[in-house]
Chain A
Amino acid sequence: MPEKFDCIVVGAGPAGTACAYELAKAGVNVLLLERGEYPGAKNVMGGVLYRKMMEDIIPEFYKEAPLERPIVEQRFMMMDKESAVTFSYKGLEWGREPYNNFTVLRAKFDQWFAEKAVEQGALLVCETVAVECIVENGRVVGVRTDRPDGDIYADVVVLADGVNSLLAKQLGFHREWRPDEVALATMEILKLDKNIIEDRFNLEPNQGCTIEIFGDATKGIVGTGFLYTNKDTLSIGVGTLLSGLIKHKMKPYELLEYVKNHPMIRPYIQGSEPVEYLAHLIPEGGYHSIPKVAGHGVLVVGDAAQLVNAIHREGSNMAMTSGRLAAETIIMAKAQNDFSESMLDQYRMKLMESFIGQDLKKYKDATHHFERFPQYFEQYIPMMNRAASQMFTVDGASKWEKQQKIWRDLGSAKQKFKLARDMMKAWKVMK
């Protein structure tokens, strides 16, 4: 007779591990399944980990977790072919406790986080793929793995199996994602001397900087490029909606090469050695794409539930919080020995009441808006660069003349009206 657990969590990423950690801590008998050789072996993200949501789970984790650098500066570049308008905030308060966020390398961090869950009493089994949920009488009662004698049972199964979530799809919780609901990100980890990193990014030792790059980084396709500082490596990448790549017939690695060789970016990474190449899908459908997240005996968390705020490049924090909320719900369900959908659906309510639901609702139309109207990335960012160049080039023309020129550059009255309308619309989807 196969063994039965209180709970099986499929996937040891931030969402699954957070859930397993909280459950184990509460004395729930939990099995954490991971397909990779170790947690983090298959996981990819640009690299920003948010302090608050991680601390909700492990207070003062930053004292022992394998982190790269606390981020003290966030830059946003509106980039054209050979220019960029940059907006930045640097605050040294972010460089000391309690910090704001950190760069991390997932292969190290996820492994550490999963070890913490094991210390709490979770049972971690790696190199094992959950191939389907076992459904009996309309209830999920366990999972079938790819191993011999691979069936395993539980009162409740948590699907933290990532963006494609084949298991949730098999249950009919979601359809195949449309190309405009997922972004494809490719990134490289570049080895560079610690001191050179600190010099180039104007950092004190063990401070970090993130740069988000809009506009020419994606050749006008909706998406962003990014460049983050780790201890002695840089993470550079570019993520664009799949639909954009299809429309522009671009290959993702071509885009990455383009960014790496861009005159605005190249000086940052000069002399570095690529040590790793990674690529992954990111769920960016937002609020409208959130699937069914609770069923009889089953919950869906993290990327599998499309919980990513593409506008603010937040995902790992939502993953952790969703895992924690799922655990809270399961602990409640266990106390009442009721794992029905109506009981577990309290997870959805918790999710929607939290910052996750609020933020995703706030930006529910943002990605789709920029996807539908490519002029923001294709026209307005270059326009902004031309205006800045015009204004700050001292060539003897009076400032009034310059303003007139910039005004003329905005086009005909009709084009100006369209621009104003687009800005209003952008404000509406972002506010």
Chain B
Amino acid sequence: MLHIVACIKQVPDTKIIKMNPKTNTMDRASAPAILNPYDAHAVEEAVRLKKKYGGTVSVLTMGPPPAVKAIKKCIELGADEGYMISDRAFAGADTLATSYALTKALEKIAKQRPIDLVICGKMTIDGDTGQVGPGIARRLNIPPLTGVKKVVEINKEKGYAIVHRKLEDGYEVVQSTLPCLFTVEKDINDISFAPLPNMIKAARYQPTIWTADDLEDVDRKQLGLKGSPTIVSKVWAPPKPEGGELLEGSTKEKVEQLLSLVLAKKELFQ
């Protein structure tokens, strides 16, 4: 029986978020909070593996109390248990401090039930760094497999996992020992339409919530703002692309136009 833990985060929906033009920071009130889309695929994959091999899926998040909503979303998707670490001490954490706090929570979960596999989304859509997953793997001292787009096999008895990792020009087949950590791409699966019993379970569900004091062997200096060496020196909105030319006509005409435009740029062929 596998125990899979998916690490998830509640994020503002960056598709509709507005940027404050003066401070160049996100106006978080302008967008609803959603489950990070990559993390939804992480949970979906965990649930699919559970269905295939049997076991339990837990989800873990760090966030303020409203993030319970994101855990409930995971319960809808089929997760069995939800854990949340929530404390002022965690506030202001960068990826280093976040992966530290999550690791401490994972160690506590593992004491109750040993973990075979941790799955994270490739990255969050508000931070876009993709560092927390590998950070957790390093701290847990387990192999990180990033960019997973297909899980071929999980074999708990023999202690290995085989996956396809997405590369720029294809994919590679990798075998790793268990336990290990995946960060998954969006194309790993399609999110399934949650069955009604899951919806009802999620509506009732209250996750286990831990504060910093509930975690064991925690070095408080490594938590939150104090444990975050990252300095954000400047944030700016990407400049809107200017100029450009719109080609019109049939596909054939457009290709011909494009070709003549490219060929005219002699500097490209020197």
Contact = CB atoms under 8 A, between A and B. Distances in A.
Interface of A: 2-3, 31, 123-125, 127-128, 145, 147-152
Interface stretch (B150-158, B192-200, B242-250): B192-200
Contacts of B197: 2-3, 149
Nearest to B204: A123
Interface in B171-202: 193-197, 199-200
Contacts of B204: 123
Contacts of B193: 147-148
B258 interface: no
Contacts of B196: 2, 125, 128, 145, 147-152
Contacts of A127: 199
Q: How large is the interface on B (under 10, 10 to 19, 20 to 34, 35 or more residues)?
A: under 10
> Max chain B CB contacts within 10 Å: which of A2, A147, A150, A152?
A147
B263 interface: no
A145 B193 CA distance: 12
A124 B193 CA distance: 18
Nearest to A148: B195
A152 B196 CA distance: 8
A3 B203 CA distance: 14
A147 B197 CA distance: 9
B200 A123 contact: yes
Contacts of A2: 196-197
Contact of B195 (A123, A124, A150): A150
Contacts of B194: 147-148
Contacts of A152: 196, 200
Contacts of B199: 125, 127-128, 147
Contacts of A123: 200, 203-204
A123 B204 CA distance: 7
Contacts of A125: 196, 199-200, 203
Closest 10 CB pairs of A and B: A148-B195, A149-B195, A147-B196, A150-B196, A125-B199, A123-B203, A125-B203, A145-B196, A149-B196, A149-B197
Contacts of A147: 193-196, 199
B19 to A, nearest CB: 18
B213 to A, nearest CB: 28
A271 to B, nearest CB: 21
A127 B191 CA distance: 15
B111 to A, nearest CB: 33
Nearest to A32: B203
B37 to A, nearest CB: 15
Contacts of A31: 200
A150 B199 CA distance: 10
Nearest to B192: A148
A28 B199 CA distance: 20
> Max chain A CB contacts within 10 Å: which of B194, B195, B197, B199?
B199
B161 to A, nearest CB: 28
A130 to B, nearest CB: 10
Given A125-B200, A149-B195, 16 more contacts: A2-B196, A2-B197, A3-B200, A123-B200, A127-B199, A128-B196, A128-B199, A145-B196, A147-B194, A147-B195, A147-B199, A148-B193, A149-B196, A149-B197, A151-B196, A152-B196
B77 to A, nearest CB: 12
A291 B204 CA distance: 35
A361 to B, nearest CB: 40
A3 B204 CA distance: 13
A31 B196 CA distance: 12
Contacts of A148: 193-196
Contacts of A128: 196, 199
A372 B200 CA distance: 49
Contacts of B200: 3, 31, 123, 125, 152
B220 to A, nearest CB: 35
Nearest to A118: B203
A2 B201 CA distance: 12
Nearest to A3: B200
A124 B200 CA distance: 8
A125 B199 CA distance: 6
16 contacts: A2-B196, A3-B200, A31-B200, A123-B200, A123-B203, A123-B204, A124-B203, A125-B196, A125-B199, A147-B195, A147-B196, A147-B199, A148-B193, A149-B196, A150-B196, A152-B196
A107 B193 CA distance: 25
Nearest to A5: B200
A125 B73 CA distance: 11
A123 B200 CA distance: 8
A147 B202 CA distance: 14
A130 B78 CA distance: 21
B34 to A, nearest CB: 10
A31 to B, nearest CB: 7
Interface in B192-228: 193-197, 199-200, 203-204
Nearest to A31: B200
A149 B197 CA distance: 7
Contacts of A3: 197, 200
A10 B155 CA distance: 45
A105 to B, nearest CB: 15
Nearest to A122: B203
A31 B200 CA distance: 9
B124 to A, nearest CB: 21
A150 B196 CA distance: 5
Contacts of A151: 196
A145 B203 CA distance: 16
A339 to B, nearest CB: 21
Contacts of A124: 203
